[in-house]
Amino acid sequence: MTVAMGRAAAAAAAATGPRPKGHSMGARAGAMADGGKRLPSDDDGVPGGGSVVIREHAAPPAPAPFVAEWRAGGGDWAVLAALCVLALVVRCWRLHEPANVVFDEVHFGKFAGRYLNGTYFFDLHPPLAKLMFAAAGRVAGYDGVFDFGAIGLDYAAAGVPYVGMRLLPAVLGALTVPLAF
């Protein structure tokens, strides 16, 4: 139905007369005059209709105005750097407190320990985040023995390098700032 409506609209547009270069049907004639290659159209029996013109030696598009402005000014880089540093400081401030297991660490720490120990388990969710926590734990020195069994368990008594493991989400959270800027 869409193809039929498209052909009907094209026929009605063709009946109204020529169009300026660069618009709908006029683009075909203009592009051919410029040395472009015409691909099959609905006149050639291709389902779906329409024609596409490829320009072989077209100039690359000019950068958007804000990109040129960004490249020219150095002040934006300074603002971005300051925001990134601020984001990292805010996320790492008192990262060592509390020295006990908190809510999400029960789940993520438990799965990270199972990955590090090679223990089989079933999880409904995709494994990437837990594998990242396992990698952070491995780098920080976590051996996978601590159970993360309940909220409030003491890290210090067990010798778990929890600050290194908490550093992963803090850094990833700080990296969202330049993406949003």
DSSP for 76-144, written as a single string: HHHHHHHHHHHHHHHHHTTTT-S-B--HHHHHHHHHHHHHHHT-----SS-SHHHHHHHHHHHHHT--S
Regarding predicted confidence, which is higher, 152 or 23?
Answer: 152
Residue 50, Ramachandran bin (φ over 0: left; ψ between -120 and 50: alpha; else beta): left
For 14-52, what is each residue's pLDDT tens digit?
A: 555 555 555 544 444 444 454 555 555 555 555 555 555
- Which of 4, 53, 10 is closest to 19 using CA atoms? 10
The pLDDT of residue 16 is 56
Query: Are 111 and 43 part of one and the same domain?
Result: no
Token pair in block for residue 75: 């002040």
Query: Are 168 and 83 part of one and the same domain?
Result: yes
- 59 domain-assigned: no
Query: Are 155 and 127 part of one and the same domain?
Result: yes
Query: Are 150 and 69 part of one and the same domain?
Result: yes
Query: Are 43 and 82 part of one and the same domain?
Result: no
Query: Are 123 and 171 part of one and the same domain?
Result: yes
The pTM score is 0.58
- 140 domain-assigned: yes
Amino acid at 113: G
Query: Are 19 and 78 part of one and the same domain?
Result: no
Query: Are 43 and 87 part of one and the same domain?
Result: no
What average pLDDT score do residues 52-72 get? 65
Give residue 119's domain range.
65-180
Total number of domains constituting the chain: 2
Query: Are 75 and 34 part of one and the same domain?
Result: no
Query: Are 113 and 70 part of one and the same domain?
Result: yes
> What is the C-alpha to C-alpha distance for residues 85 and 174, in angstroms, rounded to an integer?
8
Bridge partners (DSSP) listed for residue 154: 100
Query: Are 50 and 70 part of one and the same domain?
Result: no
For 68-106, what is each residue's pLDDT tens digit?
A: 666 656 678 888 999 999 999 999 999 999 999 999 999
Token pair in block for residue 24: 């709908």
Query: Are 70 and 13 part of one and the same domain?
Result: no
Reported confidence tier of residue 176, pLDDT bands at 50, 70, 90: very high
